[in-house]
Amino acid sequence: MNDMAAPTREERAAKLKGLGCSRKRVEDVRFTQGKGNYVDDVKLPGMLHGDFVRSPYAHARVKSINTEAAMAVPGVLAVLTAKDLEPLSLHWMPTLAGDKQMVLADGKVLFQGQEVAFVVAENRYAAADGIAAVEVEYEELPVLTDPFEALQSDVVLREDLEAGADGAHGPRKHHNHIFLWEEGDEAATNQAIDSAEVVAEEMVYYHRTHPCPLETCGTVASMDKVNGKLTVWGTFQAPHVVRTVASLLSGIEEHNIRVISPDIGGGFGNKVGVYPGYVCAIVASIVTGKPVKWIENRMDNLMATAFARDYWMKGRISATKDGKITGLHCHVTADHGAFDACADPTKFPAGFFHICTGSYDIPVAYVGVDGVYTNKAPGGVAYRCSFRVTEAAYFIERMIEVLAIELGMDAAELRRINFIRKDQFPYQSALGWEYDSGDYHTAWDKALKAVGYDDLRKEQAERVEAFKRGETRKLLGIGLTHFTEIVGAGPVKNCDILGMGMFDSCEIRIHPTGSAIARLGTISQGQGHATTFAQILASEIGIPADSITIEEGDTDTAPYGLGTYGSRSTPVAGAATAMAGRKIRAKAQMIAAYLLEVHDDDLEWDVDRFVVKGAPERFKTMAEIAYASYNQAIPGVEPGLEAVSYYDPPNMTYPFGAYICVMEIDVDTGQHEIRQFYALDDCGTRINPMVIEGQVHGGLTESLAIAMGQEIAYDEIGNVKTGTFMDFFLPTAWETPNYTTDYTETPSPHHPIGAKGVGESPNVGGVPAFSNAVHDAFRAFGLRQSHMPHDQWRIWKTAQQLGLHG
């Protein structure tokens, strides 16, 4: 006798492992067995190795390059210099920010570690020997490492730029000036601030650091001279854009270029732009007709690839004496390094920094950003910054704290009375953004309750007294942050990368026996797309996620997309996935209607099947429909079952969160201990809770590093002081605390599945939380602002300056 009851709707949904399921990752199977395929794993017959001679000087003329000894090293085949690239017009290349940068030193070098010559050899050992044998004669020039000084100095860094001519973003007011970018109403803002009851002014510095993924950048370029086809494997967060750029630079048509991003060992924005290593490897391959691999060292990565931050943010914030904010003025001096290679959408040279009104209802505001050239590596936009949003959030969350000090108010309360209210969404900010949705008060109250905020303040007050009595040398800090960030770049009408609109795409094909393959224009670097995008589809089309293959990264097969950075995959490609899924379902409905001999409108969708309304025993599963699409001649319907969607988002999405960090600080040693870290994130619809939690843990740990010791530091003559892991702070498992993660769910009203994206939120919110904890610990002793990173000696210095070592 058959005891099997038909599965319930809940059981059928669970089997799909769709939205909301903590589905285990499909990627893990190969990674845990050491069977990932990263760029340095790529080996081709006859493959050569290339690597760079790099400048030890931050600013110098290159008087001569002697390659004779290098060419005599066994195994060395060629040494490329700017002179060799000039006939191909490749000695310089355009940057993503409308500037140009040297591929190889052309007459001078502008930062320590800059590429001077490219040695091509049979293997990496010979290449290293070749590099050591190249003789370069330099003539040192004065070095500019301070952007304020650079804007006054007679020293000209960019002699290639025409004096007095406009830059890519408008007029340049000095030879070391790049652009002035403005947003908001300066006159009205100054008026509000000048007439305010309370004003707080502060310089908030977000220091230079580096995204430092564990895998460095690299490429294998292979020119097939027989077929005229160039194949390039690489650490590319935007493979299609790289293909288009490679075509424009090389003159090879795009259909003859195949770019492959294989497994990538972390990106964090470090792998968005095009580096000289990629260009030189491609040139070397075209010239030799052999594959050429370039993999950089860690020092190269830290010294020469896209750094993050370096924003000097001068803020003025005004309020009533009851704490209601009336205006916000921000001027930024942005240190861009020697070339403006910021990976921003074209029209936004300061990214989305003008989200700096944050979670607060501020009636009038102004932002002005002056970009400056210095003798440092190019870059600036990277490290889970969502295009300068990390800087913006740090700025406003510090200004709130400084304002709270000025008002003599509790900083949690100051935030609450200024939050944008739930009923104000969609909210038009004073700096031009339309925030999609939010419920900040609920998140804030939940967070404060979870950590027992009032008790913490009591404990802190008692600790201050105990400290004054000499009973303890440890202070307690409570670091608050409520951040709103902006991701999902973005609407084509104003978001483009090198002219490519920032849409994204998904192409789905269902197989006859009911499984499927979907290809996206994005590329995971650890975010788990192969797992999570299948979940989106499973919920849309009723095929189990386990039966859906997700592919990314091969430009020969994947639909054009703008890649993965700025937490854009879920908002944009995730939307494209849902929309393509809905196209599949629309066609499936017609097929089901034919099979069931009813009208399309007589059917309704039920998890994994179309059911005849009012007759639940009459249905067709997606599997049956798929087979029929290959098997049946259906009038008016093409065979097969596939769909593609290119999604142009109507707006950005605005995830938000409430983070609280409780920290102990030893004033004598400068050491800190994180007692507790609570992170509440609202990313709208949650696709895979396990993956979200992992993203938050990772981002918070990057934030811990940034706030508490990590920096790219230079001395006065431009030497990098933190070029290895001895001094570039990456916490181990020992220095890292356990985090408590929590959430609320406020869907995005304009996104097909209401999802907002979450990957960068922990960096946006984490750094202010850690930094505010340090500041808060010293608040009772008079501290207003102390620049990051808060490493031991700087915390100690703060204590010393406040007289706590007496």
Which residues are marked as active site? 237, 384-385, 760
Which helix H or strand E contains 295, and what residues bound it? strand 292-295
Choose between 33 and 64: whose C-beta lies nearer to other proteins. Answer: 33
Supply the DSSP symbol for 564: S
Residue 36 lies near other proteins (rule: CB under 8 A) = yes
Work out which of 20, 56, 731, 749 binds other proteins, going by CB under 8 A.
Answer: 731
Distance CA 401, CA 787 (A): 14
Q: Omega into 426 within 30° of 0, i.e. cis?
A: yes
Residue 701 lies near other proteins (rule: CB under 8 A) = yes
Query: CB–CB of 366/292 below 8 Å?
Result: no
| Min CB(712)–other proteins separation in Å | 12
For helices 574-596 and 529-541, give the axis angle rounded to 10 degrees: 30
Work out which of 14, 69, 72, 132 binds other proteins, going by CB under 8 A.
Answer: 132
Binding-site string for other proteins from residue 162 to residue 201, where x marks contact by CB under 8 A and - marks none: ----------------------------------------
Residue 669 lies near other proteins (rule: CB under 8 A) = yes
Work out which of 454, 462, 630, 725 binds other proteins, going by CB under 8 A.
Answer: 725
Work out which of 1, 163, 187, 726 binds other proteins, going by CB under 8 A.
Answer: 726
| Min CB(59)–other proteins separation in Å | 23
Q: Specify the amino acid at residue 318.
A: S
**Cβ count near 714 (within 10 Å):** 22
Work out which of 125, 203, 321, 613 binds other proteins, going by CB under 8 A.
Answer: 125
Residue 124 lies near other proteins (rule: CB under 8 A) = yes
Stretch that binds other proteins, among 358-366, 476-484, 625-633, 795-803 (CB under 8 A): 795-803
Q: Specify the amino acid at residue 207.
A: H
Stretch that binds other proteins, among 20-28, 332-340, 642-650, 774-782 (CB under 8 A): 20-28
Choose between 275 and 560: whose C-beta lies nearer to other proteins. Answer: 275
DSSP-assigned states of every residue in 387-446: TTHHHHHHHHHHHHHHHHHHHT--HHHHHHHHBPPGGG-SEE-TTS-EE----HHHHHHH
Distance CA 382, CA 518 (A): 28
Choose between 300 and 370: whose C-beta lies nearer to other proteins. Answer: 300
Q: Specify the amino acid at residue 420.
A: I
| Contacts to other proteins from residues 492-551, by CB under 8 A | 525-528
Cβ contacts of 726-730, under 8 Å, gap ≥ 24? 728/210, 728/212, 728/302, 729/705, 729/789, 729/791, 730/212, 730/705
| Min CB(158)–other proteins separation in Å | 30
Binding-site string for other proteins from residue 253 to residue 292, where x marks contact by CB under 8 A and - marks none: ----------xxxx-x------------------------
| Contacts to other proteins from residues 194-253, by CB under 8 A | 212-216
Strands 325-335 and 603-606: unpaired
Contacts of 164 (CB under 8 A, 6+ apart): none
Residue 477 lies near other proteins (rule: CB under 8 A) = no
Choose between 651 and 695: whose C-beta lies nearer to other proteins. Answer: 695
| Contacts to other proteins from residues 631-660, by CB under 8 A | none
Choose between 523 and 662: whose C-beta lies nearer to other proteins. Answer: 523
Residue 211 to residues 101, 144, 733, 770, Cα–Cα distance (Å): 21, 24, 18, 18
Rounded to the nearest 5°, which phi and psi values hold at 576? -60, -40
| Min CB(656)–other proteins separation in Å | 21
Which helix H or strand E contains 681, and what residues bound it? strand 672-682
| Contacts to other proteins from residues 408-467, by CB under 8 A | none
Work out which of 248, 464, 598, 690 binds other proteins, going by CB under 8 A.
Answer: 690
User: Hey, CA dihedral for 379, 384, 386, 388, is it positive or negative?
Assistant: negative
CA 802 from chain centre, in angstroms, equals 37
Query: CB–CB of 204/488 below 8 Å?
Result: no
For helices 411-418 and 440-451, give the axis angle rounded to 10 degrees: 160
Choose between 27 and 401: whose C-beta lies nearer to other proteins. Answer: 27
User: Hey, CA dihedral for 759, 760, 765, 766, is it positive or negative?
Assistant: positive
State the burial class of residue 414 (Cβ atoms within 10 Å of its Cβ: 0-12, 13-18, 19+): buried
Residue 793 lies near other proteins (rule: CB under 8 A) = yes
Residue 700 lies near other proteins (rule: CB under 8 A) = yes
Choose between 469 and 599: whose C-beta lies nearer to other proteins. Answer: 469
| Min CB(698)–other proteins separation in Å | 5
| Min CB(613)–other proteins separation in Å | 41
Stretch that binds other proteins, among 33-41, 105-113, 250-258, 453-461 (CB under 8 A): 33-41
Residue 729 lies near other proteins (rule: CB under 8 A) = yes
Query: Of 218, 178, 212, nearest to 37 (Cα)?
Result: 218
Beta-ladder partners of 109: 60
Work out which of 20, 75, 694, 749 binds other proteins, going by CB under 8 A.
Answer: 694
Beta-ladder partners of 612: 603, 615
Beta-ladder partners of 427: 435
Choose between 49 and 108: whose C-beta lies nearer to other proteins. Answer: 49
Residue 805 lies near other proteins (rule: CB under 8 A) = yes
Stretch that binds other proteins, among 10-18, 324-332, 499-507, 785-793 (CB under 8 A): 785-793
Residue 693 lies near other proteins (rule: CB under 8 A) = yes
> Residues for the chain: how many in total?
806
Work out which of 7, 31, 89, 203 binds other proteins, going by CB under 8 A.
Answer: 31
Choose between 20 and 266: whose C-beta lies nearer to other proteins. Answer: 266
Stretch that binds other proteins, among 76-84, 118-126, 500-508, 569-577 (CB under 8 A): 118-126
Stretch that binds other proteins, among 22-30, 245-253, 506-514, 771-779 (CB under 8 A): 22-30
Residue 44 lies near other proteins (rule: CB under 8 A) = no
Contacts of 266 (CB under 8 A, 6+ apart): 213, 214, 215, 525, 526
Choose between 28 and 159: whose C-beta lies nearer to other proteins. Answer: 28
Work out which of 12, 15, 174, 298 binds other proteins, going by CB under 8 A.
Answer: 298
Residue 94 lies near other proteins (rule: CB under 8 A) = no
Query: Of 524, 531, 556, 536, nearest to 546 (Cα)?
Result: 531
Size of the site for other proteins (CB under 8 A): 81
